[in-house]
Chain A
Amino acid sequence: MKFKYILEGTLGLAIAASVFSCKPSGQGAAGGNLIAGDAAQKVYVAPGTHDEFYNIVSGGFNGQVSIVGLPSGRTLKIIPVFSQNGENGWGYSEETKPMLNTSNGFIPWDDAHHPALSITNGEHDGRWAFINGNNTPRIARISLSTFKTEEIIELPNSAGNHSSPFITFNTEYAVAGTRFAVPPDNVGDVPIDSYKQNFKGYLSFVSIDKETGKMAIKFQLKTPGIDYDLARGGKGPSKDWIFFSSYNTEQANTLLEVNASQKDKDFILAINWKKAEEYLAAGKGKMAPGKHAHNYWNEETHSATSEIINEVMTLDPADCPDMLYFIPCPKSPHGCDVDPTGKYIIGSGKLAAVVPVFSFEKLQKAIKDKNFDGEFEGIPVVNYDAALYGELQKPGLGPLHTEFDANGNAYTSMFVSSEIVKWNIENLEVLDRVPTYYSIGHLSVPGGPTTKPHGKYVIAYNKITKDRYLPTGPELTHSAQLYDISGDKMKLLLDFPTIGEPHYAEAIPAALIKDNIKKIYELEKNGHPYAAKGEKETRVERKGKEVHVYMTSSRSHFAPDNIEGVKLGDVVYFHVTNLEQDWDVPHGFAIRKANNAEILVMPGETATLKWVPEKVGIVPFYCTDFCSALHQEMQGYIRVSPAGSNVPLAWHVGKSAMTQVENKAK
């Protein structure tokens, strides 16, 4: 992705030199006089006080999500989603391994691009964040009370889950379009150049349960073989619709850089998803092969389960007229964004010289009047001018994405000219432009994709960092910039480094989330089958070659902390229950030379580390989280005897101070 952008950038710069006679002001590394005079004051969050916004930032190729506070730009947490995280045992513990299961087995990495926060009536409700896995098509749901990944669903018949996940007006669906047109999963061995016959662009509609957030693939639309890029749900008048941008309507299967940039216009696909539901209810859908994994985290058992589903419901547009329409959009559109009123759809042709604004009302009229320019593989192509509200002229170079404030203004990122352009939607007038450092990709206004933007800031997530920070060798952090948009002119306030390669991000007022935060898991509600809810329940059990240790941790000891009778050839499962019921008292657990990771167990939770002893001897284990004054003493031993040894299974923990006093009192 990045390589391609750089190529585009070089190309664009040449064009830029010829289009603009003068350089944009304020060029140079420092940002110079563009920095607001009171910037320090505006981003200063005093010690002990909180940021105003949570910024939910994709991690790109680290497969994770970062939580950043704004306006300070401080990173607060990394949430592991699609990637293993040795830091807390995500993807290493027995409970979390099923979360990374797929139809192709355990896949501990992905490329996460687009967080989408749940909305009710088009407004942030602070319940969940969804994010896509791009490489192995998946969608994850993250709880915004535990900041933990609760569910991952795989998408069959898809490759490059890029236009994903974008949600509908009341979070009815998260949609996911395939970035690669591909043959369906059950059709394998076809010539690559049979693209036009065999390759399809599948669009998945993942339903989201209103109460639990639980996901399921409701249906897939089998659309022509083109590449879908991004999407947005409609709002207000357009709330029953969803819009996808596409490229490669040339249907090339090699050297896309050139071959997919031939046509003057590609498409935005407008989908009436209510209509799709009607067709589904009318029995127009067909079950088709579509093997996919559905992984679900249970907060009561502190464990995930993974289920493999073999089929998906499929709707063929050929059987469902009046559901899909193509709108021509200049030059390989990338972003496809719907303004807060739901009246305008903004396409960003990344190679185009204008930004087209489509009118939902005009689109409806064009459809009604059948104002079509033919069709593409059976789907009507609406006349460009009939759907067009107007074009923003000379916006800048390489428009990618657009976010909105509450005052009718749009903010579009320009990759090639490396700037944010503020413009008025109704007047189609450029109001302001600020440089970004360097080559902005996505941008985010708090609440920008909702019907109620919170405004105040726009954040640039840049693709190129170069000299913005102290250099760290060839591999650099990615850089983000925070701009004040409360006045007429955008003002640079802050640079902050990010983790992974952020693509999209959303920002939400902290007030919508912070009071619902879960602090501990109630021990009484712990339904883990191997939980020990007190030291009295601790024990070691042998089931053939399996040894299960029901262990507890509390400040500052494990129970049991001496274990004997384990033999070579055994597989040992340490089920560690953290007995603490106090916020911010996790205990860690690590065994010498274990070939996985530690587990980090939250108060009231149970987590399991699997360990296969490979040598006879004494093996120490200890708590990895500095939990208390006697944390260093929180350690123990396990004895490994030769296979066939007759050392009996035994375990204990020394009499604690507590039990001694209790005995004395009796």
Chain B
Amino acid sequence: MKKISKISGLLVLLGTLALLLTYILPIWRIDLWAPQYPEGLSMFIWLDKLSGQVEIINGLNHYIGMAHIKEEMFPEFDILPWIMSGIIAYGLLVSFFRTRKWLLSYLILLIAFGIAALVDFYKWGYEYGHNLADDAAIKVPGMSYQPPVIGYKELLNFGAYSVPASGGWIVVALGLILIGTVIYEFKYRKS
């Protein structure tokens, strides 16, 4: 089996260990601005919980008939910490065996995780944005309130930003490390 370089192995190990921080840092954030919220409103998504001004956002959302956002409605918060543990364990195996195959499979695993997470996030966003109460106070024909999966979107008087939070950037950083090392190991380090 083809071994990867020590430096690649070390980078993968560091990136993997950094994932431990995702247990104490938020993964994703949604920021909202409106004329009467110059300071903005933020909601943070963690592996196992929500934080930020969720109650205030709920209070505002009820005008357009959106459902209350509650932690207990998301089974993901029970599963995500275990998935993250699995990824970390896998990463440790990669740095132990240090072969190209392990490395490539790790990248595929991480991308798969990322895609799955974003699809799940999209589905929830769709659900919240479209499942509106019939007797909502404010009804705008044809309007739905699905937040952007990533990036910026205007929703009535609010501007919404959806971007990774600090924990999410760690996952992104690991992804970049894996892409970099895969390219290096497969393309430049042939012999």
Q: Which residue of chain A is the closest to B138 with respect to CB atoms?
A: A629
Indicate with 1 or 0, residue by residue over A535-565, a CB within 8 angstroms of chain B CB atoms: 0000000000000000000111000000000
With a cutoff of 8 Å between Cβ atoms, the chain B residues found around residue A582 in the complex are 53, 56, 59
With a cutoff of 8 Å between Cβ atoms, the chain A residues found around residue B100 in the complex are none
Q: List B residues 43-60 near A (Cβ within 8 Å).
A: 53, 55-56, 58-60
Known contacts A629-B138, A662-B68, A665-B73; A657 and B133 CB within 8 A of each other: yes
| A664–B62 touching, CB < 8 Å | no
With a cutoff of 8 Å between Cβ atoms, the chain A residues found around residue B67 in the complex are 658, 661-662, 664-665
| A657–B59 touching, CB < 8 Å | no
B139 to chain A, nearest CB (A): 10
Q: How far is the CA of A215 from the CA of B138 in the complex (A)?
A: 52
| B138–A660 touching, CB < 8 Å | no
Indicate with 1 or 0, residue by residue over A624-658, a CB within 8 angstroms of chain B CB atoms: 00001110010000000000000000000000111
**Other-chain residue from A580, A629, A660, A665 in contact with B63 (beta carbon distance below 8 A):** A629
Q: Is B30 an interface residue (CB 8 A)?
A: no
Q: List B residues 115-168 near A (Cβ within 8 Å).
A: 131-138
Q: Which residue of chain B is the closest to A555 with respect to CB atoms?
A: B59
| B55–A581 touching, CB < 8 Å | yes
| A580–B73 touching, CB < 8 Å | no
Q: Is B65 an interface residue (CB 8 A)?
A: yes
Q: Is B19 an interface residue (CB 8 A)?
A: no
| A657–B135 touching, CB < 8 Å | yes
> A629, A630, A656, A657 — which one has the most chain B CB atoms within 10 A of its CB?
A657
Q: How far is the CA of A665 from the CA of B137 in the complex (A)?
A: 19
Interface of B is mostly: loop
Q: Which residue of chain A is the closest to B39 with respect to CB atoms?
A: A583
| B73–A661 touching, CB < 8 Å | no
Q: List A residues 244-297 near B (Cβ within 8 Å).
A: none
Q: How far is the CA of A581 from the CA of B134 in the complex (A)?
A: 27
Q: How far is the CA of A656 from the CA of B68 in the complex (A)?
A: 12
A76 to chain B, nearest CB (A): 18
Size category of the binding interface on chain B: 20 to 34
| B59–A580 touching, CB < 8 Å | yes
With a cutoff of 8 Å between Cβ atoms, the chain A residues found around residue B133 in the complex are 657-658, 660-661, 664
With a cutoff of 8 Å between Cβ atoms, the chain A residues found around residue B62 in the complex are 555, 656-658
Q: How far is the CA of A555 from the CA of B61 in the complex (A)?
A: 11
| A657–B136 touching, CB < 8 Å | yes
With a cutoff of 8 Å between Cβ atoms, the chain A residues found around residue B27 in the complex are none
With a cutoff of 8 Å between Cβ atoms, the chain B residues found around residue A554 in the complex are 59
Q: How far is the CA of A630 from the CA of B62 in the complex (A)?
A: 11
With a cutoff of 8 Å between Cβ atoms, the chain A residues found around residue B32 in the complex are none
Q: List A residues 294-325 near B (Cβ within 8 Å).
A: none
| B68–A661 touching, CB < 8 Å | yes
B63 to chain A, nearest CB (A): 7
With a cutoff of 8 Å between Cβ atoms, the chain B residues found around residue A662 in the complex are 67-68
Q: How far is the CA of A656 from the CA of B137 in the complex (A)?
A: 10
With a cutoff of 8 Å between Cβ atoms, the chain A residues found around residue B138 in the complex are 629
Q: How far is the CA of A662 from the CA of B137 in the complex (A)?
A: 16
Q: Is B171 an interface residue (CB 8 A)?
A: no
With a cutoff of 8 Å between Cβ atoms, the chain A residues found around residue B182 in the complex are none
| A581–B56 touching, CB < 8 Å | yes
| B55–A660 touching, CB < 8 Å | no
| B66–A661 touching, CB < 8 Å | yes
With a cutoff of 8 Å between Cβ atoms, the chain B residues found around residue A658 in the complex are 58, 62, 67-68, 133
| B135–A660 touching, CB < 8 Å | yes
Indicate with 1 or 0, residue by residue over A573-603, a CB within 8 angstroms of chain B CB atoms: 0000000111000000000000000000000
Indicate with 1 or 0, residue by residue over A25-49, a CB within 8 angstroms of chain B CB atoms: 0000000000000000000000000
| B131–A657 touching, CB < 8 Å | no
With a cutoff of 8 Å between Cβ atoms, the chain A residues found around residue B60 in the complex are 555
Q: Which residue of chain B is the closest to A657 with respect to CB atoms?
A: B133
| A657–B137 touching, CB < 8 Å | yes
| B131–A661 touching, CB < 8 Å | yes
| B132–A661 touching, CB < 8 Å | yes
| A657–B65 touching, CB < 8 Å | yes
| A665–B134 touching, CB < 8 Å | no
> B53, B73, B137 — which one has the most chain A CB atoms within 10 A of its CB?
B137
With a cutoff of 8 Å between Cβ atoms, the chain B residues found around residue A665 in the complex are 67, 73, 131
A418 to chain B, nearest CB (A): 44
A626 to chain B, nearest CB (A): 12
B82 to chain A, nearest CB (A): 25
With a cutoff of 8 Å between Cβ atoms, the chain B residues found around residue A633 in the complex are 137
Q: How far is the CA of A661 from the CA of B135 in the complex (A)?
A: 10
Q: How far is the CA of A142 from the CA of B110 in the complex (A)?
A: 57
With a cutoff of 8 Å between Cβ atoms, the chain A residues found around residue B58 in the complex are 658
Q: Which residue of chain A is the closest to B65 with respect to CB atoms?
A: A657
> A554, A630, A660 — which one has the most chain B CB atoms within 10 A of its CB?
A660
> A580, A581, A658, A662 — which one has the most chain B CB atoms within 10 A of its CB?
A658
B114 to chain A, nearest CB (A): 27
Q: Which residue of chain A is the closest to B132 with respect to CB atoms?
A: A661
Q: Which residue of chain A is the closest to B55 with respect to CB atoms?
A: A581
With a cutoff of 8 Å between Cβ atoms, the chain A residues found around residue B63 in the complex are 555, 628-630, 657
Q: How far is the CA of A662 from the CA of B60 in the complex (A)?
A: 16
With a cutoff of 8 Å between Cβ atoms, the chain A residues found around residue B135 in the complex are 657, 660
Q: How far is the CA of A661 from the CA of B65 in the complex (A)?
A: 7
Q: How far is the CA of A18 from the CA of B135 in the complex (A)?
A: 83
With a cutoff of 8 Å between Cβ atoms, the chain B residues found around residue A664 in the complex are 67, 131, 133
With a cutoff of 8 Å between Cβ atoms, the chain B residues found around residue A556 in the complex are 137
B128 to chain A, nearest CB (A): 10
Across chains A and B, which 4 residue pairs bring their CB atoms closest together, nearest first?
A657-B133, A661-B67, A582-B56, A661-B133
Residue numbers of B with Cβ under 8 A of A are: 53, 55-56, 58-60, 62-63, 65-68, 73, 131-138
Starting from the known contacts A580-B56, A657-B63, A658-B68, 5 additional A-B residue pairs (CB-CB under 8 Å) come to: A580-B59, A658-B133, A660-B135, A665-B73, A665-B131
8 A-B pairs with C-beta separation under 8 A: A555-B60, A555-B63, A582-B56, A628-B63, A629-B63, A657-B62, A661-B65, A661-B132
